[in-house]
Structure 1
Amino acid sequence: MTSKPLGLATALCALLALAGPSQAETLADAMAKAYANHPGLAAQRAALRGLDEAEYQARAQAYGTVNLQADYGWQNADTRRSLAGSRSRDDVDPFDLGLQGSIPIYSGGQIENSSDAALQAVRSGRSTLTSAEQNVLLAAVTAFEDVRRDIALVEVARSNVRVIGEQLKAAQDRFEVGEVTRTDVAQAESRLAASRSTLAAIVGQLARSRQSYLAAVGESAQDLENPPPLPPLPESELAAQALAEAQHPDLVAARFDARQAEAQVKVAIGRQLPQVSVNGAAGYSDDSVFIDDVASATDSNAVSVGVTASMPLWTGGRNASAVRQAQSTFARSMALIQDTGRIVRQTVANSWSGLDVARASITAARQQIRAAQIAFDGVREEATLGARTTLDVLDAEQELASARADLISALRDEYVAGYNLLASVGALTVTHLGLDVTPYDPDAYRTGVMNEDRYGYPKGEETRWATPYRP
């Protein structure tokens, strides 16, 4: 005959089997979801596609324009001559059809430099997109670890409330038998109220962390799995600084911005130089006239080709001012390279320092927990013998709870600091992390647009545009 506890256990196992295994979410899952679905990245990718189109438009200037124009009209005139007593009716319906085209031969370098400026803007946009991707991934990591930290802190706070509640009950029992005074009971009650307040604050912090997770990942945090070990990090701060100088996306974008500004200076200078273009036109004209019901039609064809040259002689100083403005923009972009470099180096140093501090805090917290546990056990035993007061026990319990909370926070800080260091050197990418998500390929859009042949580029030009981007 099966016992009742065994029957209950069997029923519980059956229910768990029917429910199936619960799928815990990993850090890699959270980062992949954030990368694939974050609206901020979608907006940045759309902005990059707009820069691609701006580059195509800049290069399209070199291939000229052709316009079709058609005109048709109808005119009726009814004339009455009072002296002669006669009357005439005139109908006119002319029709004109023409093609006009123009190809620039020399633009003072404006077209070439405008195209180069647009290309540098695309490259800067790609680096800006990489920076945005790093921020999204780092936000996902931070939110993931914040939720896990706060869940653990809530458990510590609840345990603290439970232990202090037991101490309060023990103090009340001892007070009833006269072993302690009312003061000991009041101290325990005060500590219990404070621990409950701390628990409420941490529960609120956990709620905020869950909202941050929802904003960063796009889904609510459910069952979060323990994260894997940190990815490989730079061996030294000096190595991290070198990596950041070479590949940090903000610094790379600033360099491309400077190249774009330099090209814009050449564009402004080109406006002061001669402009030469070849112009052509072809037209057909049909003029039909009816006078007193007598038809008269005239058809004509015309073709013309010519060269137009122009040279700005006086613009009221506008072109010279545009050159100076472009030079000022270029000087600003060069200064921003230096400014961005300082910020990047500072970020690397801060990240490295944060990682060192977190690791030192972990070691200290673990030592503190061991010592605080021994002290708490000893003080509690001594209190049962009357050698310690209730306040001593409460202080020991508070030190142990604080040490446990410090360790939880330090472990979180170390993990987030590691990913902060990766972001500071420009290595927080889906490719470097090996995430199970398809990386966004900006070259795919450029190649797809060129294959559609919407812009009339010469045959073979699409191969040039499809060349993978290299910073």
Structure 2
Amino acid sequence: MKKPALILGFSTLVWVMPLHATTLEEAIAAAKEHAPEVEVAEAESDIAKARLQQAKSGGRPSATLSGTIGAGRLDPKGYFGLTADNVTPTAAQLVIEQPLFTGGKVSAGVEQARAGMAAAEAGVVATEANLVANVAGAYGSVIAAETMVRHYAQLVDETEEIERQARLRFSVGESPRTDVAQAQARTAEAKAGLARSEGQLVTARARFRSLTGLEGADLQPLPASPLLPATLDDAVAQAEADNPQLAQAEAGVKAAQAGLKGEKADQLPMVSAFAEGAMVRDQFFPGYKADSATVGVRARWQIFSGGRVSGKIAESDARLRVAEAQLRAARDAIREHVIAAFSGVRTAALVETAAQEQESAAREALRSVREEVRVGMKPQLALLDAEREAIAASAALESARTDRIVSAYRLLALVGAQ
């Protein structure tokens, strides 16, 4: 009597606190909050912003305050009639400096930092877009594995029942030993399929948990594909405008151009305005005091560097050529990937439609065979064959649905629509 009461209590608990079925959109949102790679990309973006702030500071005024204080004994050796005495030498200086001309080095540094920030921001977009596609794939894998577990569990029950009946008929001499052996083989095959699908479910849920932080125990069916570019030309044009990898390559060219500009600035003079104020006590003889204030212009021009500056210019020029070549390669690669992804989306949609028709036909065939077996027109093993074909069709359909949603998000990642 205790067991039914326990079952009733558990059922009541489930009814009071129903589990919330997770949607794909919720899984994607959870992944963006959970995934460390997104956190890394966002931190790198913050680093780039901080570098921009540092670069801008090169053109702003700076103020430096320095000072010293000590204790000692000073002996002027009778100079000016002064005798030895204990002193507290003290000095303080305040320097304010404003760059007036840097040959373009500060502006080049700012441009380089802006390019780095643009590349980092594009990296965040690319990371999130790839994460979305990965989550969609993991989500679909969990659903497919759960479907296979259900089908194989049902098949195990049916094969065990058929094996039991075969043994009974064999025991009374109504069927040969071969029927029993075939039934045993089909039961073993079904159990192997169940074990394999259960292992795939564990792996799929582990992958899903790693990406999202969610358990993935109750997932809604895969939704329809997100809105995609209508034509291939639209997809290519959108990718050329918004693809994050392409944006990173373009930022790399801008950074290299700014770097070359900055190195060339070392060939020009640096000019700044300054104001200094100083206070000195007990420095040269006991009781010595001096205060000073100075304003002026300071210039520095390195007219010979032994080839260091020209070497840096040559290096930066080569880096610019590398960046430009990488940008051309990125454009060609993105176009190729977009064409492949667009074709993949269309192919996945056609495959899903065909898989739906196959699954529907297999289920209809299964119903027909089940009825024919019931009235004795076909043997029980024919039912198992039909079950196996229905399971294969169901697996193909779930796989096609996953491929369809993943290919859609891969295309979105390429066109920068995330």
| Residues 93/373 of structure 1: CA separation in 2 closer, same or farther (3 Å cut) | closer
1:355 and 2:330 aligned: no
**Structure 1 residue 147 displacement after superposition:** 1.4
> Partner of 2:297 in structure 1?
307
Matched, 1:396 2:386: yes
Equivalent residues of 1:160, 1:401 under 8 A apart: no
Pairing 1:5-404 to 2, within 5 Å after superposition = 15=12, 19-76=16-73, 90-287=85-282, 296-376=286-366, 392-404=382-394
Distance in 2 (CA, whole Å) between partners of 1:17 and 1:408 is 28
Counterpart for residue 416 of structure 2 = 426
Which letter does structure 1 place at the counterpart of 2:65?
Answer: L
What is the SS of the residue equivalent to 2:223? coil
Conserved 8 A contact 2:137-2:403: no
TM-fit CA distance, 1:79: 12
State the TM-score, normalizing by the size of structure 2: 0.88
Give 1:3's aligned residue: none
CA distance in 2: counterparts of 1:30 and 1:387, whole angstroms: 49
Classify 1:20/1:381 alpha carbon distance in 2 versus 1 (closer, same or farther; 3 Å): closer
Displacement of 1:353 in angstroms is 2.9
CA–CA distance in structure 2, aligned partners of residues 20 and 420 of structure 1: 37
Q: How far apart, in 2, do the equivalents of 1:13 and 1:309 lie?
A: 84
Q: Which moved more, 1:403-412 or 1:343-352?
A: 343-352
- CA–CA distance in 2 between the matches of 1:77 and 1:174? 122
When residues 19 and 250 of structure 1 are mapped into structure 2, their CA distance, relative to the original with a 3 A threshold, is: same
Residue 377 to residue 115, structure 1, CA distance change in 2 (3 Å) = closer
Distance 2:394 2:129 in 1: 32
- Whether the aligned pair in 2 keeps the contact of 1:251 and 1:341 (CA below 8 Å) is yes
Distance in 2 of aligned mates of 1:159 and 1:136: 35
**Which deviates further from its counterpart, 272-281 or 172-181?**
172-181
Q: Which stretch of structure 1 is more off in the superposition, 224-233 or 104-113?
A: 224-233
Distance 1:361 1:160, change over 3 A: farther
CA deviation after TM superposition for structure 1 residue 379, in Å: 5.2
CA distance in 2, matches of 1:93, 1:258: 58
Please show how residues 440-455 of structure 1 align to structure 2 within 5 Å: none
Give CA deviations for 1:44-67 in whole Å, capped at 9, x if unaligned: 222211211111111111113221
Equivalent position SS for 2:225: coil
- 1:91 touches 1:289 (CA, 8 Å); kept in 2? no
Indicate if the aligned counterparts of 2:256 and 2:323 stay in contact, CA closer than 8 A.
Answer: yes
Residue 267 of structure 1 and its aligned partner are, at CA, apart by 0.4
Q: CA RMSD for the aligned pairs?
A: 2.9
Contact 2:208 2:215 in 1 (8 A): yes
Cα deviation code 1:321-359 (max 9, x no counterpart): 111111111111112212222332333233323323322
User: TM-score with structure 1 length normalisation?
Assistant: 0.78
Aligned pair count reads 408
Unaligned runs of 5+ in 2: 78-82
Please, which moves more after superposition, 71-80 or 255-264? 71-80
CA apart distance, 1:381: 6.2
Partner of 1:464: none
Q: CA separation of 1:289/1:131 partners in 2, compared to 1, >3 Å: closer, same or farther?
A: closer
Q: Secondary structure at the match of 1:302?
A: strand
Deviates more, 1:112-121 or 1:417-426: 417-426
Contact residue 136 and residue 406 of structure 2 kept, 8 A: yes
Q: Distance in 1 between matches of 2:352 and 2:139?
A: 19
1:295-315: per-residue Cα shift (whole Å, max 9, x none)?
x52221112233332322322
Provide the rounded CA distance (Å) in 2 between the counterparts of 1:79 and 1:331: 66
Q: Using the alignment, how far apart are the partners of 2:58 and 2:87 within structure 1? A: 40
Letter of the 2:22 partner, please give it.
Answer: E
Q: CA deviation at 1:68?
A: 0.8
CA deviation digits over 1:421-451, x for unaligned, max 9?
Answer: 22221112xxxxxxxxxxxxxxxxxxxxxxx
- Counterpart CA distance in 2 for 1:376 and 1:116 is 68
Task: Give % identity.
Answer: 30
**Correspondence for 1:414:** 404
For structure 1, the 5+ residue unaligned runs are: 1-7, 81-87, 291-295, 429-471
Higher normalized helix content (fraction of residues)? 2
Taking the aligned partners of 1:335 and 1:53, their CA distance within structure 2 comes to 29
In structure 1, what is the Cα distance between the partners aligned to 2:197 and 2:253?
48
Q: Deviations over 1:236-284 (max 9, x none)?
A: 2222122111111111121112111111110011112222222332111
Whole-Å Cα distance in 1 between the matches of residues 142 and 375 of structure 2? 42
Shift of 1:368: 2.5
Match for residue 431 of structure 1?
none
Q: 1:422 is matched by which residue type in structure 2?
A: L
Q: Is the 8 A contact 1:234 1:240 kept in 2?
A: yes
8 A Cα contact 2:136 2:402, kept in partner: no
SS at match of 1:282: strand
